[in-house]
Structure 1
């Protein structure tokens, strides 16, 4: 069957059944899904439908970490240069993406149906959109029960983390870009969403962009005072080596009180697995 005819056939199936073929509807195997986004891939894995292909699989261990990426997931290259030949060879039933790859959608639709999920950079909290995307993926893939279970278990984990972090007070989270430039997180991003659910106050009160972060210099961190500061992996090696001897860093109230500590990486544009990972790491860091 040609790619275009196969696409039309699958759209017809989706329209008739309300979702793509799945075991629950008599298919012999789970749908073959390709993800062009790490966050959507996180959810797919948790729903029991891991992607057969993903952009930049080599970066998963550095930026996403959880859940573990199955070893047989095909690497489709970067989001700016998707390997269309390999994608066609994979013969996916569905490609999941985000609005930021709409420029390549016409080519993708020659291979398989494309479903785009707007979650981040919408000028508001991404959390409701994460919940909506989780439910929609569950519906489309015949995993509605698993989707609700993921939502419920995530809420349980966040409630437990709220109790365990109640003593933290004001908190800030940053990423070092280099020795001079820092990314700090606030409203509009998943980290602020977790702060809100844990009832933690973000020590950074300046505006952030639609993605939920602001780019600042190290001296700007004086604004957070003696808050608990978490600096997230990956940290550039030269930055990590220079911090102990940096007069500016050592003069910060949070550094003088021992309230600055390193945190493992969390996907800032992630979904529920990223939110619960971030909450767990805050718990571990607050002990």
Structure 2
């Protein structure tokens, strides 16, 4: 069953990354860009595409999209040269200049209000309506629900609440809360989020790592590109972080990141797949100080 699910997920992700007709749509929102991809539309240009590809390992958005620069400071000359027929995304600051190039519409999944999974579906359907891909959107939503059901079946059903964190630096973390994309994935998997305090507009709270011991639940650490490149090694030598892990008896899960945590349905499913695989793995106890001598 696990092999079948893995193969099915691989085939789905492969088709997402490399299929799709080229349409002259530019976007300044990564959730929009990856949702266009599952609707079989390869966006012409995407803001900060290189950074996005660092997170997703180039496995969601078509690899021949063009980098458009920063969302707050787009390369207007390049955008004008590409001559898009439509510019999409939550990009309010340079809107005046962009509207001189092509029709511009602000569309975003965030902030999420109400049920996150329903918000993801509504966002996908609204975007599909705008680009004429209604049937494709309904089909993909149905397929994603089926894949989430298969992932949920693999879980034991008695998992403890999860604390999903992403390191901002070696002293602070972002915790994903109830109005986040990842909450929608947890809901579909039948898992509980241990964090229920107020969050920002993308569903994230910032806390110091010395606050984590007071939160009951199992730690889930997102190994972001920033974590992998600079923070992970420092934490391995950090006394406070190692003490926290010993306090929890090493009961932490580390997730490889090949998704954007504030993306759309494709990222939600990739996160869920990585999480279920990690939860299935046996826990390795954190070595105590006495056992290291």
- State the TM-score, normalizing by the size of structure 1: 0.81
Distance 1:255 1:190, change over 3 A: farther
Q: Partner residue of 1:159?
A: 149
Root-mean-square deviation (CA, aligned residues, Å) is 2.2
Please give the alpha-carbon distance, in whole angstroms, between the structure 2 residues aligned to 1:206 and 1:144: 36
Note the residue ranges of structure 1 that are not aligned, 5 or more in a row.
Answer: 1-28
SS at match of 2:43: coil
Tell whether the 8 Å contact from 2:163 to 2:217 is kept in structure 1 after alignment.
no
Q: Partner residue of 2:164?
A: 173
Note the residue ranges of structure 2 that are not aligned, 5 or more in a row.
Answer: 1-20, 281-293
Out of 245, 261, 265, the position equivalent to 1:268 is 261
Aligned length: 257
SS at match of 1:201: coil
Distance 1:139 1:54, change over 3 A: same
Q: Partner residue of 2:215?
A: 224
- State the TM-score, normalizing by the size of structure 2: 0.80
1:47 aligns with 2:39: yes
Tell whether the 8 Å contact from 2:116 to 2:180 is kept in structure 1 after alignment.
yes
- State the 1:60 CA deviation: 1.8
5 Å matches for 1:1-287? Answer: 31-65=23-57, 67-98=59-90, 101-165=91-155, 166-225=157-216, 227-234=218-225, 235=227, 237-252=229-244, 256-265=248-257, 266-287=259-280
Tell whether the 8 Å contact from 1:226 to 1:257 is kept in structure 2 after alignment.
no
Tell whether the 8 Å contact from 1:66 to 1:273 is kept in structure 2 after alignment.
no
- State the 1:177 CA deviation: 1.1
219-228 vs 253-262, which moves further: 253-262
